């Protein structure tokens, strides 16, 4: 069973991504904030982690930085409406893939490919 974790403070975005990224043989988890996300990572070690950038208190980039100090095997992607240079640079520095919110198909592809390469490995 493969698993994907969605971290977004917007309920409706979580719902949409849960439904869009859902597939047979795949578990889609969702967290509204960093604390919930970290606890789900500890419990499930999801294969792909989709992070929103803008979240209250701990944003997606900060959460990505914290994930580097946590035992997990997930590929992390920043799914964001923020195309600013500063965000892109910080994402780069953390080695994060960045996909814009308008590019949902690319996110789906990224998740599919990440999970496929994992099953192939």
Partner 1 sequence: MERRSAPPSVGVGSPREDLIARVEFVEATLDSIEEGIVACDADGNLVLFNDATRRFHGLPAQPVPQDLLAEHYDLYDETGDRLLTVDEIPLLRALAGEEVAEAGMVIQPRHGERRRLVATGRQVRDEDGRLLGAVVAMHDVTRRLEAEESAARLRAEAARQRDELLAGVSHDMQTPLASILGFTQLLDDDLELLIASGQVDEVTRAMRRQADHLQALVGQFLDYTRLSTTATLELHRAEMDLAGMLAELVDTHACADRLTLAVDGPLVLLGDVVRLRRVVGNLLSNAMRYSDGQIEVHAHSTGPDVTVTVRDHGPGLGDDPDALFGRFARGDTDSDVDGTGLGLYVSRAIANAHGGSLVGSDAAGGGACFVLTLPAGLDTAGRDDRDERESGDYSPSTHTEVAA
Residues lying near partner 1 in the complex (CB under 8 A): 9-13, 15-17, 19-20, 32-33, 53-54, 56-57, 81-84, 86-87, 100-102, 104
Nearer to partner 1, 84 or 117 (CB): 84
Handedness of CA 65, 67, 69, 72 (dihedral sign): negative
Handedness of CA 120, 4, 93, 35 (dihedral sign): negative
The distance of closest approach from Cβ of residue 37 to partner 1 in the complex, given in angstroms and rounded to an integer, is 12
Nearer to partner 1, 60 or 74 (CB): 60
How is 1-42 classified by DSSP, letter by letter? Answer: -EEEEEE-S-HHHHHHHHHHH--TTEEEEEESSHHHHHHHHH
Nearer to partner 1, 25 or 102 (CB): 102
- Distances in Å between the Cα of 21 and the Cα atoms of 46, 89, 94 are 13, 27, 24
The distance of closest approach from Cβ of residue 121 to partner 1 in the complex, given in angstroms and rounded to an integer, is 29
Tokens of 65: 């930085």
The distance of closest approach from Cβ of residue 43 to partner 1 in the complex, given in angstroms and rounded to an integer, is 20
The distance of closest approach from Cβ of residue 1 to partner 1 in the complex, given in angstroms and rounded to an integer, is 19
Nearer to partner 1, 32 or 45 (CB): 32
């Amino acid at each position: 069973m493969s698993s994907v974790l969605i971290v977004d403070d917007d309920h409706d975005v979580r719902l949409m991504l849960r439904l869009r990224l859902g597939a047979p043989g795949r578990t889609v988890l969702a967290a509204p904030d960093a604390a919930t996300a970290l606890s789900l990572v500890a419990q499930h070690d999801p294969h792909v982690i989709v992070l929103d950038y803008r979240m209250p208190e701990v944003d997606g980039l900060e959460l990505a930085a914290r994930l580097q100090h946590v035992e997990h095997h997930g590929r992390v992607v920043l799914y964001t409406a923020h195309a600013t240079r500063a965000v892109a640079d910080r994402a780069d520095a953390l080695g994060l893939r960045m996909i814009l919110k308008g590019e949902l198909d690319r996110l789906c592809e990224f998740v599919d490919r990440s999970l496929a390469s994992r099953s192939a490995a």
